[in-house]
Amino acid sequence: MALGFAIGVFGVLILFHAAYSTIQYRGLLKITEEEFSGPPFNVIITLSSLNLLTMMRFLLSNLWFLGSQVVTELSLGLVLCMWAALTVPGKFLSIHPDSEENRIVSLPANVDFMIFNHRGKVFPVEMDLKLKQ
Amino acid sequence: MAVHSESGSQEKKSGNGLNELLTFNAENMQNNMKIIYYSRTFLSIIGGVVAGILGFTGLKGFVFYLLLMAVTSVGLVAKAKFSIPTYFDSWNRVLLDGFLGGLMSFVLFWTYPSLMKYDNISEV
């Protein structure tokens, strides 16, 4: 769990670094007096990982320049954050009441008041009960 | 000796929709919903920052968010090992829950990278 958290933090840091690089790049563009229209073409390509082609073409239509370093960073950061977001919050628990891990067989806390010499001894003994740890 | 005992943690509730059992463990259901909510919110924020860095404006940003949420849904279904009835009572919960809440966070963080280039934020 700590590993997943660390990977998530690492992914966020990568994104921050990419943001900083982009800001520096925009400063450079200001110096050369060009217009900023988007991150480098590489960034976009790597960021898109789905096969919805029309959406992709739409998103990529005017994004064609940003450093390749920012691209790789953005894509790597996004993948790491995606993995962390799906792993860190915890496992899914089964909601079936009769599944194996949802057993509620347990001993009562006050064993001093338990007696066994009562009329329940005529019932058949269930041999498959398990103590839940 | 092991005995059956009713503990407060299992509250039986009627299910509907795809759940063929009429009752389910509500505490585990809540845990699963919490996991989905955390995952979607975190990825909405990260997606917002990425959209801001990429310079998406207008419709492109929302398309990017749609894409991101679709990938998240696929990831959540894979996390549930593709057997949704084991962990949820309907498909709508895992596919659509948290969609609009994440949208608000996405738009908020989408604006932040464009503010980072200013030395004095009060001038924006």
Of the candidate ranges A48-57, A100-109, B47-56, the one whose mean pLDDT is the lowest: A48-57
Q: Which of B37, B23, B17, B5 is nearest to B92 (CA)?
A: B17
Strand partners, A16: none
Rg (CA), chain A: 29
Average pLDDT over residues A12-24: 80
H/E segment holding residue B13: strand B12-14
Residues of chain B with pLDDT under 70: 1-22, 123-124
Within 8 A of A63 by CB-CB distance, chain B residues are 54-55
ipTM of the complex: 0.73
Helices (H), B1-124: 26-54, 59-79, 84-87, 91-96, 99-115
Q: What is the dihedral of CA A38, A41, A43, A44, to 10 degrees?
A: 80
Number of domains in chain A: 1
Q: Is residue A72 part of a domain?
A: yes
**Boundaries of domain holding A9:** 1-88
Phi and psi (nearest 5°) for B61? -65, -40
Structure tokens at B122: 């009060």
Give pLDDT, residue B56. Answer: 83
Q: Residue A22 has what pLDDT?
A: 78
φ and ψ of B13, to 5 deg: -135, 150
Q: What value does the mean pLDDT of chain A take?
A: 73
Instruction: Give the nearest partner residue to B10 out of A43, A70, A104, using CB atoms.
Output: A104
- Nearest Cα residue in chain A from B82: A92
State the nearest Cα–Cα gap between A128 and chain B, in angstroms.
10
Q: Is pLDDT above 70 for A57? A: no
H/E stretch holding B23: strand B23-25
